[in-house]
Amino acid sequence: MTLESEALSKALEAAKDYADSILKAPLNQVGGMLADTVGYWRLKNRVRLMLKAKEWLEARQIKPEKLMPDIFVPLIEDGGNAEDETLAGMFASLLATHLDPQQQENVHPSYTKVLAQISPVDAKVLLEYRRYVSYAGAREVGLRGGGLPVEMIAKELSLPIRVAFLSTLNLWRLGIIERRGYRHPEQHPIPTVFENSPEHQLYVTTEYGIAFSDACQYDKRVSN
């Protein structure tokens, strides 16, 4: 057995033990789900997801709430496809939010399936949109923060316009952001020229998107 395989085996045992401690009902399939029925790559991702959530909760001395398998299994299965650090962290955050008794009301059952439809680039675009949302007090009186044109997202994340636009369209499809028209260059004599230009399309984060992105940032939202 190689050193890497031995380390993964130990991590797998820790993940299995943790699964037993956080599930409300026995889950006989958990060993197979985490080992025999998945490839090495997905196995590493699933183990990393569980142990990251465990680390965050233990650092805050939070005793995890028991989960039903119908919540745990889809989250772990979909999270097993996430190798990207940002996306993997979002899956771990959802698990931690489910397990934290004080945060459970902040996570909706739909979040896991929504996150499973987001690419690593989409995740970075989502967090960039969320970064521009007003603080809670402002939103309570109807202020939602500034909208962002696709060209600004592309510039901030060093993405090609088309890549940023496609990610934005996917987030729009999922209800995370919504279109608010377009933003043309200042003092342009014919602003309507930019009405259908991808880079000038203007989007703002929805209330659903705000709640979703916050639930996917447990380590940043919950202070020590």
| pLDDT tens per residue, range 62-93 | 999 888 888 888 999 899 888 899 999 999 99
pTM flag (> 0.85): no
Q: How far lies 62's CA from each of 59, 97, 123, 204, 219, in Å?
A: 8, 11, 27, 34, 13
**By percentage, how much of the chain surpasses pLDDT 70?**
79
Determine the angle formed by the axes of helices 85-99 and 120-131, rounding to 10 degrees: 70
Q: How far apart are the first and last CA of the chain?
A: 38
* Predicted confidence band of residue 137 (pLDDT cuts 50, 70, 90): low
Q: Looking at residue 182, what is its pLDDT?
A: 77
Instruction: For the sheet with 148-149, list strands across it.
Output: 148-149, 201-205, 177-182
d(CA 177, CA 128): 11
CB 129, CB 203: distance < 8 Å: yes
What 3-state class would DSSP assign to 220?
Answer: helix
| pLDDT tens per residue, range 24-67 | 655 555 555 555 544 677 888 888 899 999 999 999 999 998 88
Fold of the domain built from segment(s) 120-212: Arc Repressor Mutant, subunit A (1.10.10)
* Domain-wise residue ranges, the chain: 3-116, 120-212
Q: Looking at residue 37, what is its pLDDT?
A: 45
Between 191 and 101, the more confident residue is 101
